[in-house]
Amino acid sequence: MGFVTALLAGGVFGTGLLISRMYEPQRVLSFLDVAGHWNPALAFTMAGAIAAAAPAYWFVRTRKRDLLEHAVELPDRSRIDRRLVAGSAVFGIGWGLSGICPGPGLLLLTGLSLPAIVFVGGLVAGIFAVRLLPQRVSAGSAGV
């Protein structure tokens, strides 16, 4: 059951990424290029996504359970530290250089083009590299 629902969730999410065309690096970069020919499309995608997900988060946050009555513990919302801000900044630099974040990177990999393979290769290498850092730097709660 959990496998099927996660498969469905991924399918709907992936269809959304495809329809919004946010897997196209040029579309993302034109949003990030505030000093150039600015394209607001990414803001519409994020606003639509947040609005559609917010009622579900409110429901689960207040009940502390999902629809199937399983206990759900959502991540700590308040802990703000240097690791969060600096890590996100490093991610932002990589995102700005390429116009690709993890979800679109995986979608692009299905095209089996060399640039997509190189980007995702770097992405996976980066994920492994963090595990090699000293524990006081790399240890943190997974998720959000």
Partner 1 sequence: MTVELWEALAGGVLIGLGAAILLLLNGKIAGISGILGNTVHGVFGPNAWRAAFLVGLLTPAAIFGVSSAQFSPGLPILAVAGLLVGVGTQLGSGCTSGHGVCGLANGSPRSLIATVSFMLFAMITVYVVRHGAVSWAS
Closest CA to 119 of 100, 96, 132, 93: 100
Phi, psi of 101 (to 5 degrees): -110, 175
134 binds partner 1 per the rule CB under 8 A: no
Query: What is the Cα–Cα distance from 90 to 127, expressed in whole angstroms?
Result: 13
Asked if residue 61 binds partner 1 (CB under 8 A), the reply is yes
46 forms part of the interface with partner 1 (CB under 8 A) = yes
Tell me the closest approach of the beta carbon of residue 101 to partner 1, in angstroms: 4
| Residue 72 DSSP code | -
Rounded CA-CA distance 137/56 in Å is: 33
- Report d(CA 144, CA 142) in Å as an integer: 7
The one among 35, 62, 135, 136 contacting partner 1 by CB under 8 A: 35
Q: Give the shortest CB-15-to-partner 1 separation in angstroms.
A: 5
Determine if 63 is a binding residue for partner 1 (CB under 8 A): no
Given 62, 75, 135, 136, the residue binding partner 1 (CB under 8 A)? 75
Residues 86-105 that bind partner 1 (CB under 8 A): 86-103, 105
CB of 56 to partner 1, least distance (A): 4
